[in-house]
Amino acid sequence: MSLENKEPAPAPSDFIRDIVAAHVAGQKYPRIHTRFPPEPNGYLHIGHAKSICLNFGIAREFGGVCNLRMDDTNPAKEDVEYVDSIIEDVNWLIAGWADDKLGLKEKGKTPETISGDGKRDFFLPATVGQASRLSPFANETARDRRDACPTLEPFYASDYFDQIYDYAEQLIERGKAFVCDLSPADMEFYRGAPDRPGKDSPFRNRTPEENLDLFRRMRDGEFPDGARTLRAKIDMASPNIWLRDPIIYRIKHAEHHHTGAKWKIYPMYDFAHGLSDYIEGVTHSICTLEFEVHRPLYDWILESLGLPRALPKQYEFARLNLSYTLLSKRKLLQLVEEKIVTGWDDPRMPTICGIRRRGVTAEALRNFAYNIGITKFNGLTDVAVLEHAIREDLNKRALRRLAVLRPLKIVITNFPEGKVEELDAVNNPEDESAGKRKIPFTREIFIERDDFQEVPPPKFFRLKPGGEVRLKYAYIIKCVEVIKNSSGEIIELHCTADLDSKTGGATSSRKVKGTIHWVSAAHALDAEVRLYDRLFTEAEPEKDGRDFKSVLNPRSLEVITAKLEPSLKDAKPELRYQFERIGYFTLDKDSNSPKLIFNRTITLKDTWAKESQKG
């Protein structure tokens, strides 16, 4: 068994892929080039996974490339911790699937220095296939290379600050940008409202020479934060508020995590973004719907510069919203800072690292992202869709093991004391190649407390006084005596086994209605098991402005000590386990030999569906 990624689901089709397919058919571009552009101001979440799968998926399906680019234009909120986590999470999600589509940056070179000679029409980041000149691992697979070089270098918008600055000067020279001295409050006032035109800034008609002089002095740090801005000169009466002379540069005396103390001014996102796309040779700049209203500005900036190469185009799709889940970096940060969860990678978090730690595989996450599709309409995806994708994936790959979460002891009175019988157990009925293992059977075993009821309801097919049940891979047993302590609690059951009822035995075909799991008491390993559940009790935690903290699920984490079959002492973090009849589990990174800690990734069945039917 390995977690090696197999072929993914067939390529989906949607309106963005239709557009790309038409461009490929019409040979509009030499190569399809997308990008995934996170701002490193938080950890990536499952919504970002949708965008990553879309952008890398398109590169994969249409023979293109996709750049991972840090959109790092705001030094105040960004941090290398986030940069590192983004690199790790993207790599994990696309490894073995689309990592050969990753635009690779030649160390020490930015697209600017490569394309700066003006002779090359396209900056084409090297892909693995063409990278022999760059990569010492050229003959190896993308996977080998990834293992050898686990942190691929992403692109940084901040690497283009010189070039973006230069474009700003060009806009000034073309009379399309001006330095404005309005205070933020005045600027707000002059902007107008969606139903009311704005007013021209009194600084709008400065000459290019004056603007250039002021802009250079802004760059050189002569003015304090907020004293001046550089604004695009578009149209203060435009119905689109983003076209009302938007700010494209602001003064910020702040150190940047990637460029250090070099800059005193920083480009605004809208200005840097389209230019970064252009600099990298991006053809399809795919983002979420909230950027639709920015698209005219995106186009205006690129068109106003008279750029020589083909311009990138922006396309928008609906972001992922998931029930029982918050997907806002700000809110996720709040969960972390207020210690509602243990960190960004708490397995209850919808972050990629949290989902990974919970035991979900990259393949399951990609299948989910593929199956939900890409549309233009905002909606709410049922978290059950994600859970279904996780179960389907784990059912295929998980090794079956026996584990008892809430133990009840059984003494099998007709089984000899001290005898250990090794029984065969199947590792994965979905995968014959996973083979078999031995599990020890002895006179004293544990079963699940729930699997015995003294006064059972009708149709209770598990163990009851005088009743019979089959022990998985072992014998049929009959409950002959219930032992209680002085306060009337059941502490132990005495049973007899039909010693001919094992596979191959004379009575093995005898029918009993129920089969339950068990572990040998003498051999069982104690392990901490973390039973994770949804973090919120309501599908829309923030519905009608409610505080999400009022609907936290008090049972989102339960920690118990379970009894595991002995083979689990060799459990590996990269493997997945099904504790039979219970759910899917994975070894947590907090495990520290000999202490075992398992996370429940997901229950076998959807327990929430039952709840909501009851309700």
CB of 36 to ligand ATP, least distance (A): 6
CB of 317 to ligand ATP, least distance (A): 7
Extended strands (E) in 74-205: 155-156, 177-180
Q: Give the strand order in the sheet containing 33-36.
A: 33-36, 65-70, 155-156
Cα 549 to chain center, whole Å? 23
Structure tokens at 101: 């589509």
Structure tokens at 428: 């994965």
Residue closer to ligand ATP (CB basis): 51 or 67: 51
Which residues are catalytic, by number?
39, 319, 329
CB of 86 to ligand ATP, least distance (A): 8
Residue closer to ligand ATP (CB basis): 73 or 110: 73
Which of 255, 164, 259, 178 has the alpha carbon at shortest distance from 214?
178
The two most distant CA atoms of the chain are separated, in Å, by 101
3-class DSSP string for 435-501: CEEEEEECCEEEEEHHHECCCCCCCCCCECCCCEEEECCCCEEEEEEEEECCCCCEEEEEEEEECCC
Stretch 28-47: interaction string toward ligand ATP, x if CB under 6 A = ---------xxx-x-----x
Residue closer to ligand ATP (CB basis): 215 or 266: 266
Residue closer to ligand ATP (CB basis): 332 or 404: 332
Which of 569, 573, 472, 584 has the alpha carbon at shortest distance from 527?
569
Residue nearest to ligand ATP (CB): 47
The SS3 assignment for 121 reads coil
Stretch 318-357: interaction string toward ligand ATP, x if CB under 6 A = -xx------x-x----------------------------
CB of 310 to ligand ATP, least distance (A): 21
CB of 133 to ligand ATP, least distance (A): 31
List all residues 6 or more positions away from 576 whose beta carbon is below 8 Å from its beta carbon. 3, 359, 361, 394, 397, 398, 399, 584, 585, 586, 601
The C-alpha atoms of residue 6 and residue 347 are separated, in whole angstroms, by 25
CB of 368 to ligand ATP, least distance (A): 12
Residue closer to ligand ATP (CB basis): 38 or 75: 38
Q: How many residues bind ligand ATP (CB under 6 A)?
A: 14
Task: State which of positions 48-107 bind ligand ATP (CB under 6 A).
Answer: 48, 50-51
Cα 527 to chain center, whole Å? 28
Residue closer to ligand ATP (CB basis): 37 or 198: 37
Q: Does 313 bind ligand ATP (CB under 6 A)?
A: no
CB of 80 to ligand ATP, least distance (A): 15
Bridge pairing between strands 577-579 and 399-401? parallel
Stretch 259-298: interaction string toward ligand ATP, x if CB under 6 A = ----------------------------xx----------
Is the Cα dihedral 77, 81, 83, 87 positive or negative? Answer: negative
Residue closer to ligand ATP (CB basis): 24 or 327: 327
Asked if the peptide bond before residue 37 counts as cis, ω within 30 degrees of 0, the response is no
Residue numbers at the binding site for ligand ATP (CB under 6 A): 37-39, 41, 47-48, 50-51, 287-288, 319-320, 327, 329
